[in-house]
Amino acid sequence: MNVLVIGDMVGKGARKAAIALVPSLLREYDCCFCIANGENMAGGGGMTRRCLNSLDEAKINVVTGGDHMWDQRELAEVIGLFPNVLRPANVSAVQPGRGYGVFTVPGHRQRIAVISLLGRTFLNTQANCPFEAADRILDELQDQKIIFVDFHAEATSEKIAMGRYLDGRVTAVLGTHTHVPTADEQIFAGGTAFQCDLGMVGARDSVLGRAIAPVLQRFSTGMPARFTVVETGIRLQGTVVSLDPDSGQATAIQRISRDFD
């Protein structure tokens, strides 16, 4: 059984790329399920109803969030209409939405649990301890074998620590947030697939999906600049995880990268 997981989608161009590429990638890699981080897909920050509706064409089954989850105000009002959209689980309970869910694989008897967690190291967030949240959620998912964790975090050390902490307890721990894919994909001893960061669905000629010139201005002068999203020349980055549906253990992990327009 194969699952496609793609990195942070940045802007309208990323949504177009996902619609064009994900269905063919699902066929090419014989994947039955797709998870994507969507926290940057509305103009580079947050999600909207329109953005989420457009992803139906992309065959994305679950959308996870991160530290930019609420950049678009309307999401707080409409997230309840999208049971497949997850905000980080380790935030205040007063925030709308949910941090994990169990989803039926289309055309299969298996069910996949997906957990969205937010890191704390080097991130200016009010997140609670993600390790404690993971323990609490796994207690509630004791009968669930296939579990994917999107750990949206900055520090590689925190991501690796989470992978090691959950080794043997979940199918995969896959990092998002930095928009740069890492070359450390592996299967830990307990059968958990791990990768520090999946990368992004964003412009090749950019700085993390943003126009190069204003980013250079900010770094070189210290003066403020508006970081506009580059919507053309998109590259989709992600990972395919193969697993044993009976045990929930990962058997293989493979990075993928595909250019669009």
Digit-coded pLDDT (tens) for 23-38: 999 999 999 999 999 9
**Max CA distance (Å), the chain:** 56
Residue 78 has pLDDT above 90, yes or no: yes
pLDDT at position 107 is 86
**pLDDT in the model for residue 65:** 97
d(CA 259, CA 155): 27
* Distant-in-sequence, close-in-space partners of 189: CB < 8 Å, separation ≥ 6: 167, 168
CA 136 to chain centre: 21
Is 0.85 topped by the overall pTM? yes
pLDDT of residue 125: 87
Tell me the pLDDT band of 215, cut-offs 50, 70 and 90: very high
User: Burial level of 24, CB count in 10 A (0-12/13-18/19+)?
Assistant: exposed
SS3 163: helix
* Strand runs labelled E in the chain: 2-6, 8-9, 31-37, 62-64, 85-86, 100-104, 111-118, 147-152, 172-176, 186-187, 193-195, 200-203, 234-243, 250-260
C-alpha–C-alpha distance, residues 109 and 112, integer Å = 10
| Mean of the per-residue pLDDT values of the chain | 97
User: Annotated catalytic sites, by residue?
Assistant: 68
